[in-house]
Amino acid sequence: MTNPIRVAVTGAAGQIAYSILFRVASGQVFGKDRPVHLKMLEIPPAMKALQGVAMELADCAFPLLAGMDLTDKADEAFDGINWAFMVGAKPRGPGMERGDLIKENGPIFVGQGRALNRGANDVRAMVVGNPCNTNCLIAMKNSDVPKDRFSAMMRLDQNRAQSLLAEKSGQPVTAVTNMAIWGNHSNNQYPDFENAKIGGKPAAQVIKDETWLKETFLKTVQNRGADIIKARGASSAASAANAALDHVRDLIQPTPAGDWRSVAVCSNGQYGVDKDLIFGYPVRVKADGAYEVVEGLAMTPWAKAKFDAVHDELRKERDVVKDLLK
């Protein structure tokens, strides 16, 4: 039997992990022939609930589930891992500002960044726990793992944007391609309809409604998380988990020719972004497995203003946690 891939999931007793774990164990990410060893991290008060989740995973009799470890120590959870799904984060409490949330979460990601050094040679980490871009920055800056092994999740925003353009144009979601989400997984993200395509044509040539694109589309994608909470009475869980699986698949498989995926990765200065910010870019994975940011995409001045605003937001988030960045 193939050597199992070792996968850590943090916040493992939470709602998003509850969807991720079962789908990973069923073979939906690393393939039908690759056994998976799950290493699940929780905080001490959630360890009993985590035990229940592990019992349910056992109760699935998944042929690919080669082992499970449950722990409240990041060093143990990340020992020898190949992938970390960093899902756990403190949720925003009532009246809490985004800056407060960032400060609350910072120390968690300092510790987890250090613990990532315990991973295998090829360890990679993706961050779902919000504010995911800046949490990822903190982990990256506190780790010796190479920067290109870190990413934060923009794929939920990409999926939402694709789905919305498909619905509006009456096309299947598979017809919507080249959907870039620039910047931050926040309500200042910029979902780039100018470069998106529907059935191979520029989206704006198919949806001839500039007001809808600039206002309704933009706001709907940016505020979708809040709208889900209003309807469901709970935040996005299964769709966030699904996007996390998509995100990892995006990074381990070559991207179809001509298309790209939205991934927040460490900036090398592309598009004038401050170096080291974890910035949502259009990304392509090459045949050799390395990724590259798609360069040279054009933006109108209107779009550039959106881009600059979200760039500024990420700079400010970085400044809030500057004491945590080595």
Residues involved in catalysis: 185
Burial zone of 136 (CB within 10 Å; 0-12 exposed, 13-18 middle, 19+ buried): buried
The candidate with the shortest Cα–Cα distance to 36, out of 60, 63, 75, 76, is 63
**Cα 260 from Cα 158, distance rounded (Å):** 11
User: Considering the rule CB under 8 A, would residue 67 count as an interface residue with a copy of itself?
Assistant: no
The candidate with the shortest Cα–Cα distance to 164, out of 181, 151, 152, is 181
Residue of 173, 226, 286, 305 interacting with a copy of itself (CB under 8 A): 173
Please tell me the number of Cα atoms within 13 Å of 206 on its side-chain side: 21
User: Considering the rule CB under 8 A, would residue 49 count as an interface residue with a copy of itself?
Assistant: yes
The residue (of 48 and 286) whose beta carbon lies closer to a copy of itself is 48
- Cα 309 versus chain centre, distance: 21
Buried b (16+ CB within 10 A) or exposed e, 192-230: bbbbbbbeeeebeebbeeeeebeeebbebbbebbeebee
Residue of 23, 90, 114, 214 interacting with a copy of itself (CB under 8 A): 23
The count of residues interacting with a copy of itself (CB under 8 A) is 49
Q: β-strand 150-153 against 124-127: which pairing, if any?
A: parallel
Burial zone of 95 (CB within 10 Å; 0-12 exposed, 13-18 middle, 19+ buried): exposed
**Cα 36 from Cα 41, distance rounded (Å):** 16
Cα angle value 135/140/142 (rounded, 5°): 100
The residue (of 119 and 282) whose beta carbon lies closer to a copy of itself is 282
User: Considering the rule CB under 8 A, would residue 297 count as an interface residue with a copy of itself?
Assistant: no
The encoded tokens of residue 232 equal: 């469901």
User: Considering the rule CB under 8 A, would residue 232 count as an interface residue with a copy of itself?
Assistant: yes
Helices 98-115 and 301-320, axial angle in degrees (round to 10): 70
- Contact between residue 178 and residue 168 where contact means Cβ atoms under 8 Å apart: no
> What x-and-dash track marks residues 136-165 binding a copy of itself by CB under 8 A?
--------------------x-xxx-xx--
The residue (of 28 and 270) whose beta carbon lies closer to a copy of itself is 28
Which region, judged by CB under 8 A, interacts with a copy of itself, from 73-81, 235-243, 262-270, 312-320? 235-243
Which region, judged by CB under 8 A, interacts with a copy of itself, from 86-94, 143-151, 167-175, 262-270? 167-175
User: Considering the rule CB under 8 A, would residue 233 count as an interface residue with a copy of itself?
Assistant: yes
Shortest Cβ 41–a copy of itself spacing (Å)? 17
Residue of 97, 148, 215, 227 interacting with a copy of itself (CB under 8 A): 227
Shortest Cβ 159–a copy of itself spacing (Å)? 4
Which region, judged by CB under 8 A, interacts with a copy of itself, from 116-124, 131-139, 170-178, 273-281? 170-178
User: Considering the rule CB under 8 A, would residue 200 count as an interface residue with a copy of itself?
Assistant: no
User: Considering the rule CB under 8 A, would residue 305 count as an interface residue with a copy of itself?
Assistant: no
Residue of 239, 255, 262, 267 interacting with a copy of itself (CB under 8 A): 239
Applying CB under 8 A, the residues found at the interface with a copy of itself are 18-19, 21-23, 26, 28, 48-49, 51-53, 55-63, 65, 156, 158-160, 162-163, 166-167, 172-174, 176, 224, 227-228, 230-234, 236-239, 241-243
